[in-house]
């Protein structure tokens, strides 16, 4: 794209006066609207250079409208979009709008390569040059990599380095293809140096296709998707304050399955999944296959009781398993409780927290069992609910067992379940479930089989999030560094509890094994053992 000088008619000189018509004033008022202004401005006045159709008005696709809305509605936004879907076009239009209608704005474009920064800036200049003369802001300086308007706003473009933006007072920074900043340490250092600027009120927009699942873009994206509070509510933004927005190649109206097959043949399956399916390259082996994880969406809880999230109302014709993975409650590891229904193998409730004292963890377990008991009796007073509960007895678990003794098992609705004593084993029997390396692998294997075989229903979005970071390490599985796996650990205890019941109940055994059989009747053997 040819460079246009300040003397060109396409550039409005600084402080040039213009007498506006009534219609033009109305148009300006529409563009200045803080909520609808950017999209209106871009639809009404912006033109783009299409690679095959040439100059044409900008008509955004629905996902592009979502992207512009994300830019405008959130101080921090991170967007993951396939290649060649117009994300740079949306950004250039938004930056021009912001600079012209927000005086004294200092806007920085940071790209992973100089050519990328220049390309974005050329799109910004083109968007400006094609505007009607009356709506253009006057220009003081018009250079290849910067524009300075007469309202005090400035747009600058540069490459992403560890010193980019350092010491600058920025209103907004736009980071393009942030996942491809090399080496990865450069992106980390850049982000560290940028943080003080953003903490003073700056706005940050990040867009990229994914690359590695461990680069700085991936880390910001993952934190942006950690939206769940202590009550399981799905917040709009993540724990880092970023709003996450994602699009799929199929949302582009010119792309279909025929296009996808051709593109897969051209660039290969792995590259297609990264560049168009927007999947991170997973170098670690997750317990649950990546294809299954992609399909797992979870559901919103039907209700919350305190910090306990419920997805189903307890049914007197079902059996309920309540598993606790205890923790110290001092702000480190999380304590977690999982509740599953049998023989459907569906997750019905969940709780986790990292500052709840041990005695309160047992009280919460007690409350869950009581809720199941009381709800079932309300529906069928003649049938005692079938409830089983247990917990890990390793280290911290010993303290949890003491708390159960303090409360008294007779005061907890249900039957305490323990792992069977192995034949010929001389060790003193301990209540609950002791977790060794072998126990964990066995539980992981069965848990994987149940989920990937479609026999187990996972409703918790926080649990699905943990499963995406639950990876192979040596001969076992655990969370990636900096992540948590407490919800998964409670599920593994639950899986071992299911095995105990499967050994005695034929209905559970049938579904526990590889037979594909559906059941609607209650478990026969333990139906009347609840307290």
Residue 524 confidence class, pLDDT cut points 50, 70, 90: very low
Mean pLDDT of 21-47: 94
Residue 82 is predicted with a pLDDT of 92
Which residues touch 207 (CB under 8 Å, ≥6 apart)?
A: 78, 79, 80, 81, 87, 88, 91, 174, 175, 176, 177, 178
Higher per-residue pLDDT: 483 or 390: 390
Which residues touch 461 (CB under 8 Å, ≥6 apart)?
A: 228, 234, 297, 298, 299
247, 119, 244: which is closest to 176 by C-alpha?
A: 119
Q: pLDDT of 412-463, one tens digit each?
A: 999 999 887 666 555 555 788 988 888 899 999 999 999 999 999 999 999 9
Which residues touch 498 (CB under 8 Å, ≥6 apart)?
A: 321, 340, 342, 345, 508, 512
The one-character DSSP state at 457 is: B
Residue 448 is predicted with a pLDDT of 94
Residue 513 is predicted with a pLDDT of 61
In this structure, of 116-120, 260-264, 360-364, 439-443, the range with the lowest mean pLDDT score is 116-120
Residue 294 confidence class, pLDDT cut points 50, 70, 90: confident
Which residues touch 324 (CB under 8 Å, ≥6 apart)?
A: 335, 336, 337, 361, 362, 365, 389, 390, 391, 392, 400, 490, 493
Q: Is 75 in a helix, a strand, or coil?
A: coil
Strand partners, 496: none
Strand partners, 323: 338, 390
Residue 274 is predicted with a pLDDT of 84
Residues of the chain with CATH 3.40.50.300: 22-275
The CATH architecture annotation of domain 303-512 reads: 2-Layer Sandwich (3.30)
Residue 295 confidence class, pLDDT cut points 50, 70, 90: confident
Q: pLDDT of 318-344, one tens digit each?
A: 999 999 999 998 888 899 999 999 989
Residues of the chain with CATH 3.30.420.240: 303-512
Residue 215 is predicted with a pLDDT of 81
Q: Nearest 5°: CA angle at 15, between 9 and 19? A: 80
pLDDT at residue 282 is higher than 50: yes
pLDDT at residue 189 is higher than 70: yes
Which residues touch 267 (CB under 8 Å, ≥6 apart)?
A: 275
pLDDT at residue 521 is higher than 70: no
In this structure, of 262-266, 480-484, 506-510, the range with the lowest mean pLDDT score is 506-510
Residue 164 is predicted with a pLDDT of 66
Q: pLDDT of 59-100, one tens digit each?
A: 999 999 999 999 999 999 999 999 889 899 999 999 999 999
pLDDT, the chain, mean: 85
HEC readout, 154-191: EEEEEECCCCCCCCCCCCEEEEECHHHCCCHHHHHHHH
Residue 526 is predicted with a pLDDT of 35
Strand partners, 325: 336
Q: Is 319 in a helix, a strand, or coil?
A: strand
pLDDT at residue 126 is higher than 90: yes
Q: pLDDT of 167-184, one tens digit each?
A: 677 899 999 888 888 776
CATH topology of domain 22-275: Rossmann fold (3.40.50)
Q: Is 395 in a helix, a strand, or coil?
A: coil
> How far is residue 509's CA from residue 462's CA, in Å, rounded to a whole number?
29
Is the peptide bond preceding residue 343 cis, with omega within 30 degrees of 0?
yes
Mean pLDDT of 285-290: 86
In this structure, of 267-281, 291-305, 313-327, the range with the lowest mean pLDDT score is 267-281
Mean pLDDT of 337-360: 94
Mean pLDDT of 303-329: 93
Mean pLDDT of 145-151: 93
pLDDT at residue 528 is higher than 50: no
């Amino acid at each position: 794209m040819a460079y246009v000088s300040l003397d060109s008619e396409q550039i409005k000189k600084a402080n040039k006066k213009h007498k506006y018509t009534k219609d033009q004033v109305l148009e300006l008022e529409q563009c200045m609207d803080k909520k609808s202004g950017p999209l209106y401005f871009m639809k009404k006045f912006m033109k783009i250079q299409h690679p095959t159709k040439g100059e044409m008005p900008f008509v955004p696709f629905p996902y592009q409208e979502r992207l512009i809305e994300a830019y405008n509605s959130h101080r921090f936004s991170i967007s993951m979009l396939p290649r060649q879907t117009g994300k740079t076009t949306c950004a250039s239009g938004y930056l021009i709008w912001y600079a012209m209608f927000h005086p004294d704005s200092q806007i920085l474009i940071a790209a992973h390569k100089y050519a990328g920064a220049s390309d974005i800036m050329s799109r910004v200049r083109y968007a400006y040059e094609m505007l009607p003369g009356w709506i253009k802001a006057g220009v003081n300086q018009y250079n290849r990599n910067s524009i300075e308007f007469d309202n005090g706003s400035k747009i600058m473009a540069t490459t992403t380095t560890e010193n980019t933006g350092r010491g600058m007072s920025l209103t907004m920074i736009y980071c393009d293809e942030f996942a491809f900043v090399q080496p990865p340490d450069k992106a980390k250092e850049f982000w560290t140096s940028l943080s003080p600027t953003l903490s003073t009120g700056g706005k940050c927009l990040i867009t990229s296709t994914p690359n590695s699942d461990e680069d700085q873009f991936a880390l910001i994206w993952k934190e942006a998707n950690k939206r769940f509070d202590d009550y399981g509510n799905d917040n709009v933004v993540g724990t880092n304050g970023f709003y996450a927005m994602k699009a799929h190649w199929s949302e582009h109206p010119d792309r279909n399955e025929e296009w996808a097959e051709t593109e897969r043949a051209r660039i290969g399956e792995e590259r297609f999944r990264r560049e168009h399916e927007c999947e991170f390259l997973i170098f670690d082996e997750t317990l649950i296959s990546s294809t299954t994880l992609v399909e797992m969406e979870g559901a919103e809880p039907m209700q919350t009781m305190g910090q306990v999230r419920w997805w189903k109302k307890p049914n007197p014709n079902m059996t309920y398993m309540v598993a606790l993975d205890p923790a110290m409650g001092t702000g480190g590891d999380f304590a977690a409780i999982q509740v599953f229904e049998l023989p459907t193998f569906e997750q019905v409730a969940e709780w986790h927290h990292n500052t709840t004292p041990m005695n309160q963890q047992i009280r919460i377990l007690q409350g869950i069992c009581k809720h199941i008991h009381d709800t079932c009796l309300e529906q069928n007073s003649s049938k005692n609910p079938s409830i089983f509960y247990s917990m890990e007895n390793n280290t911290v678990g010993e303290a949890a067992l003491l708390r159960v003794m303090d409360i008294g098992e007779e005061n907890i609705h249900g039957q305490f379940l323990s792992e069977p004593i192995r034949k010929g084993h001389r060790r003193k029997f301990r209540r609950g479930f002791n977790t060794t390396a072998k126990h964990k692998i066995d539980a992981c294997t069965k848990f994987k089989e149940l989920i990937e075989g479609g026999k187990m229903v996972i409703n918790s979005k926080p649990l699905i999030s943990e499963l995406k970071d639950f990876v192979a390490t040596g001969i076992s599985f655990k969370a990636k560094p900096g992540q948590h796996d407490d919800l998964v650990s409670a599920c593994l205890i639950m899986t071992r509890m299911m095995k105990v019941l499967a050994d005695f109940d034929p209905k559970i055994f049938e579904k526990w094994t590889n037979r594909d059989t559906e059941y609607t009747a209650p478990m026969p053997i333990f139906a009347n053992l609840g307290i």
